Amino acid sequence: MTDEAILDAVAAQARWMEALLADLVRAPTVLGAEDAGQAVMARAFADCGLEPVDVPLRADALRGAEGASPFSWDVVGKRNVVATWPADAEAEGARSLILNGHVDVVPPAAEHLWTRPPYGAVREGDWLYGRGAGDMKAGLAAMAGAVRALRGLGLPLGAPVQLQSVVEEECTGHGALQCLLDGHRADACVITEPHPDHLTVAQVGVLWFHVDVDGVPAHAARADRLGFNAIEAAGAVLEALRGLEAELNADPPPPYDAFAHPINLNPGIVAGGDWTSTVAASCTLSCRLACFPGESPDALAERVEATVARAAAEDPRLAGGRARVRYDGFRCEGCAVAEDEPLVRALGDAYERRHGERPALVATTATTDARHFVRAGIPAVCFGPRAERIHGVDERVSLSSMVETAQVLALFVRDWSGAIRPGSEGPARGKEEKDHHVVHGREPAGRG
């Protein structure tokens, strides 16, 4: 099966992928509402001729699992959807593969700032707009389109390829973790996050923490003499946390020494007070902070607690536990995959045949589900369509890059998992004999 035949077959799926992407964007799959998107993905996998299977999230299993994050919300009824394209016959050199994407999206941030409706899937030229269009529903459409094209061509597989549409990537990664706990494994994994022109081989760890601050309520008319404002106290805590952030960025290890500011503290939500004319009695500051691969998120949590304790010690009104740190959501380590991993070389080869040059290998200052696979001994990288303004307003994705992503994935699936047929140079064996280029990344660029 020639490269050309594969590229053409994938290009012929462009409209199918675009329709799938639009259906996905119209499903507002924020935390707790993922299932509308999973229904779309189950239909899409079935339309690839595969049998979609639900992988429900199980709170008990997740709470005890290595790599799990704390969570306070109910996961009953949440499911991943997976579909396995089985091998036709086991072939020497063929390796199994997981293609993974997350269906959940972050909220629209501020709907009034959008110039197109966040769940409208408006198309303008090569761009499709919408929350999650880039992060990462176009990636889901690309991986399904690649498999649909290859199945249409009758590609014989020597090792299984599994498609995974998972939930909760944006808060815990427990969708991907549940798939692993349920035994869905492979020799490698590609996550089709919006990382174009490069393969992402390293990522930071992320900690979510919430600082609950107690104030003393009073009438606002006497706020100069009475009460203690929890919102203002939370501001002082945030200032102290900025000091910790500066310390964390002081001496980044490679490859993060190429970044000016790899570790970002983000106060993402502040919630406090209950009346405009009452001195605020309580405030919660919800933050995201990162750590480098090899560092423990538990150690980072200790530094956060020490920082909050120091800030509290500077104000007697915060004495006695009136500023407390709580954890809910991400508590995850960073990870990295070696640049000479067969996965990295083979996916880079496929990319080069489509684009005429090798992809850069980069590190990201965000986290992805890749860490769960890497922890389980499964090399995982991110590669996918070109998106702009993810987590921002007017998020959009390039439709041509979605098709190109599917083309690279299809070439890679043939090479990695295809069966060796008698009388032809089998893709898997050909790969082993090939004299690989040594790959060097250009300077990493932050994503996500």
Q: How far is the CB of 169 from Zn ion (least distance, A)?
A: 6
Q: Is 182 helix (H, G, I), strand (E, B) or coil?
A: coil
Nearer to Zn ion, 141 or 211 (CB): 141
Is residue 395 a contact residue for Zn ion (CB under 5 A)?
Answer: no
Nearer to Zn ion, 136 or 380 (CB): 136
Nearer to Zn ion, 41 or 136 (CB): 136
Among 119-127, 129-137, 259-267, 433-441, the segment contacting Zn ion (CB under 5 A): 129-137
Q: How far is the CB of 92 from Zn ion (least distance, A)?
A: 36
Nearer to Zn ion, 207 or 390 (CB): 390
Nearer to Zn ion, 102 or 354 (CB): 102
DSSP helix, strand, coil percent of the chain (3-state; round to 5): 35, 20, 45
Is residue 136 a contact residue for Zn ion (CB under 5 A)?
Answer: yes
Whether the Cβ atoms of residue 383 and residue 142 lie closer than 8 Å to each other: no
Q: Name the residue number minimizing CB distance to Zn ion.
A: 135
Structure tokens belonging to residue 284: 């919660």
Q: How far is the CB of 385 from Zn ion (least distance, A)?
A: 11
CA R_g for the chain: 23
Q: How far is the CB of 441 from Zn ion (least distance, A)?
A: 21
Q: How far is the CB of 191 from Zn ion (least distance, A)?
A: 8
Q: Which residues make Cβ contacts (< 8 Å) with residue 224, sequence separation at least 6?
A: none
CA distance 354 to 234: 52
Tell how far CA 154 is from the center of its chain: 31
Is residue 167 a contact residue for Zn ion (CB under 5 A)?
Answer: no
Cα–Cα separations (whole angstroms), residue 250 to 243, 352, 367, 415, 445: 11, 37, 20, 43, 19
Kindly state the DSSP code that residue 38 receives in the 8-state scheme: H
Q: Which residue type occupies 35?
A: D
Nearer to Zn ion, 136 or 177 (CB): 136
Whether the Cβ atoms of residue 236 and residue 315 lie closer than 8 Å to each other: yes
CA distance 202 to 209: 23
Kindly determine how many residues on this chain lie close enough to bind Zn ion according to the rule CB under 5 A.
3
Among 11-19, 116-124, 189-197, 330-338, the segment contacting Zn ion (CB under 5 A): 189-197
CA distance 397 to 194: 9
Q: How far is the CB of 392 from Zn ion (least distance, A)?
A: 13
Q: Which residues make Cβ contacts (< 8 Å) with residue 214, sequence separation at least 6?
A: 230, 281, 282, 322, 323
Active-site positions? 104, 169
Is residue 135 a contact residue for Zn ion (CB under 5 A)?
Answer: yes
Q: Which residues bind Zn ion (CB under 5 A)?
A: 135-136, 193
